[in-house]
């Protein structure tokens, strides 16, 4: 049995750009805005996934996180593909002797560009996560309102200090603010763990900087697929061109065959 031969991939040479260019900050701001929208949407979705089954909750929230990373990955891939296209155009211009500005030569695809854009776009989130990771402590649940029979003990000095933490409301701290922000950013993970599980939540908060880096890493990984996506495009174009040429040749051959079979008029 003969193996089906696959057509070799086609590609065009392209000019490689610099890790950063004049559009890097703009792209980072776009990434930041995209992440704000994703955080808001994931917060709404995950807030509605309060299942009694822990397994079902984990599956749903993993699906949400997977969808988030897929969206970010796709956005990075689109930018990487556009960078390769720009590099192909500039390469052709240079081959034709058309000079380009140095700023334009920095714009095409570069392997580090996607990661740099993602890191800059998530810098604020990363700062919040680092601050929480450094300052977080295990949350302790309070005893609630003291019963009325304890009033006699509160009046006695030997018991007053011990019970003071239960009768003096504690204000919100810097760590509490960071905790609220970071938990909103990592809502799928928080929903999987469960906010009432203080031990695992402590671990989650301490590794939150690593979890925040998932999105920029997915964006950078997607950006790296730019050359491969362009190769697939060129390969598909070449395949369609071969099919069109073969079809035209068959039609020409068929017309010649018909012409030969037609009776010729003799004068």
**Cβ-based neighbour number of residue 131 at 10 Å:** 19
Query: In this model, does residue 126 exceed pLDDT 90?
Result: yes
pLDDT band at 2 (very low <50, low <70, confident <90, very high): very low
Write down the pLDDT at residue 1.
43
**Cβ-based neighbour number of residue 223 at 10 Å:** 28
Cβ proximity of 211 and 187 under 8 Å? no
Cβ proximity of 110 and 259 under 8 Å? no
Q: Which is nearest to 170 in space by CA: 195, 139, 200?
A: 139
**In this predicted structure, which of 39-48, 152-161, 211-220, 234-243 has the lowest mean pLDDT?**
152-161
pLDDT tens for 59-108 read: 888 999 999 999 999 999 999 999 999 999 999 998 888 888 899 999 99
Write down the pLDDT at residue 3.
47
Joined tokens for residue 22: 């004049």
Query: In this model, does residue 216 exceed pLDDT 60?
Result: yes
- Average pLDDT value for residue range 27-51: 88
- The percent of residues above 70 in pLDDT, for the chain, comes to 78
pLDDT tens for 147-167 read: 554 555 556 554 455 555 555
């Amino acid at each position: 049995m003969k193996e089906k031969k696959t057509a070799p991939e086609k590609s065009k040479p392209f000019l490689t750009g610099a890790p950063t260019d004049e559009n890097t900050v703009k792209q980072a701001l776009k990434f930041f805005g995209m992440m704000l929208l994703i955080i808001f949407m994931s917060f709404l979705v995950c807030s509605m996934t309060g299942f009694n089954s822990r397994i079902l909750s984990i599956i749903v929230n993993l699906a949400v996180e997977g969808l988030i990373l897929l969206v970010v990955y796709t956005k990075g891939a689109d930018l990487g593909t556009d960078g390769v296209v720009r590099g192909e155009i500039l390469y052709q211009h240079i081959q034709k002797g058309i000079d380009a500005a140095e700023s334009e030569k920095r714009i095409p695809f570069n392997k580090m560009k996607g990661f740099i854009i993602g890191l800059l776009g998530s810098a604020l989130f990363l700062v919040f996560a680092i601050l929480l990771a450094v300052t977080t402590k295990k949350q302790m649940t309070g005893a609630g309102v003291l019963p009325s029979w304890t009033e006699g003990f509160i009046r006695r000095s030997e018991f007053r200090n011990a019970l003071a933490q239960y009768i003096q409301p504690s204000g919100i701290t810097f760590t509490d603010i960071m905790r609220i922000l970071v938990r909103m950013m990592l809502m799928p993970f928080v929903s999987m763990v469960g906010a009432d599980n203080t031990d695992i939540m402590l671990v989650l908060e301490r590794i939150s900087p690593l979890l925040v880096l998932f999105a920029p890493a997915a964006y950078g990984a997607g950006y790296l697929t730019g050359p491969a996506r362009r190769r697939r495009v060129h390969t598909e174009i070449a395949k369609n061109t071969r099919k069109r040429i073969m079809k035209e040749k068959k039609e020409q051959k068929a017309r010649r065959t018909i012409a030969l079979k037609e009776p010729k008029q003799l004068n």
